[in-house]
A and B are shown apart, each in its own frame.
Chain A
């Protein structure tokens, strides 16, 4: 193995350790950490890592977080497993709460006052549960607080969720009477 190849291998190992082992509350790693640990050619290293992850159904994604690039590994495409309570990743009601919050924000141009989002979630969850779900989504980066205090789509949602697919699936799953009711209503 040439010296360059050996160096690349070493850097791929370092990058994968940074990306896979969560050291902060949220997944992913900032550009500065990659630059510090892997080196200035970290993008080439991430590309090489991405090619290897492809066969496992995973991919390296870049997303903007607080104006800076952040990198994380996600499942490539949709998760191959069926959703079931024992999956252990996120509770079913948390998934539903997140779907509701994201759908509400999508329907309101990407931002809405916290009280309105909370009130929307209270349609399906008790007030206290709605509050705690939203607090969790904020903490996990699925939602963000904008400058004016409005809820906005978070960096993690941008990395993980296909919002147009979510909207399409919600509308197509709804009973026909609900989805066709007042279809000409303007946005």
Chain B
């Protein structure tokens, strides 16, 4: 259903511009500003003023989008966008890849893959198929066979006690600790102890080394640290 008032039409136009569904230049800003002023009338009530403010805000957003588009077009020096789109249509995949390759200065970095991690990835679960990111968090759990039953709490207690005995208030290496038994189960149990504030986890920003130590007092944390087991240096 089309928007009834000029205010609603302006807000709707801005939404379309933000969603990329309409060009910011398809809207006559000057005429809209005048129409908004007329629609407001000589004696606006509180609701009118609020709606008017929303519409003026949307109108300024459209002007902002026009500015951005002008800046973008000027910086990309594309004189004929239609021709660009047609040219893409007429090129094959190799030619397009080549065009990008000749226009790119790729970023350079070294993923922190160690020899140990490579060996682990091939030996830990050789038959494992590629797991989609969305499935990764839940994938190892059935293997770990850990369920939130009555025995779950004592299991977490036991691993915290074990850490206390091993660490003696010092930081110890996370990987070597979880490797002392069923790796996935221990990592899973530890994650609850960490969330519960009973174990402190630290990731060195330079080396990426993960260390843990028992907490002296329980401080619950809402911060999350993602540790991808497949990426750990596990032999």
Contact = CB atoms under 8 A, between A and B. Distances in A.
Contacts of B110: 20-22
Interface in A132-187: 146-153, 156, 159-171, 173-175, 177-179, 181-183, 185-187
Nearest to B203: A23
Contacts of A108: 20, 81
B19 to A, nearest CB: 4
Interface stretch (A4-12, A43-51, A87-95): A87-95
Interface residues of B, number: 52
Contacts of B98: 83, 169, 173
5 contacts: A21-B109, A22-B112, A78-B104, A108-B81, A182-B86
B126 interface: no
A110 interface: yes
Interface in A77-127: 77-79, 83, 89-90, 92-93, 95-96, 98-100, 102-104, 106-113, 116, 120, 123-124
B78 A148 contact: no
Interface of B: 15, 17-21, 23-24, 68-69, 72-73, 75-78, 80-112, 205-206, 208
Given A110-B72, A160-B105, A100 B206 contact: no
B19 A179 contact: no
A148 B58 CA distance: 12
A102 B84 CA distance: 11
A170 B84 contact: yes
Contacts of B92: 124
Contacts of B87: 103, 170-171, 173-174, 178-179
Given A106-B76, A179-B86, 8 more contacts: A83-B98, A100-B88, A120-B88, A123-B89, A148-B19, A163-B78, A170-B91, A178-B89
Interface of A: 14, 17-23, 27-28, 33, 36-37, 58-59, 72-79, 83, 89-90, 92-93, 95-96, 98-100, 102-104, 106-113, 116, 120, 123-124, 146-153, 156, 159-171, 173-175, 177-179, 181-183, 185-187
A96 B98 CA distance: 8
A38 to B, nearest CB: 11
A24 B230 CA distance: 15
B112 A95 contact: no
A51 B82 CA distance: 41
A116 B20 contact: yes
Given A20-B110, A108-B20, A75 B105 contact: yes
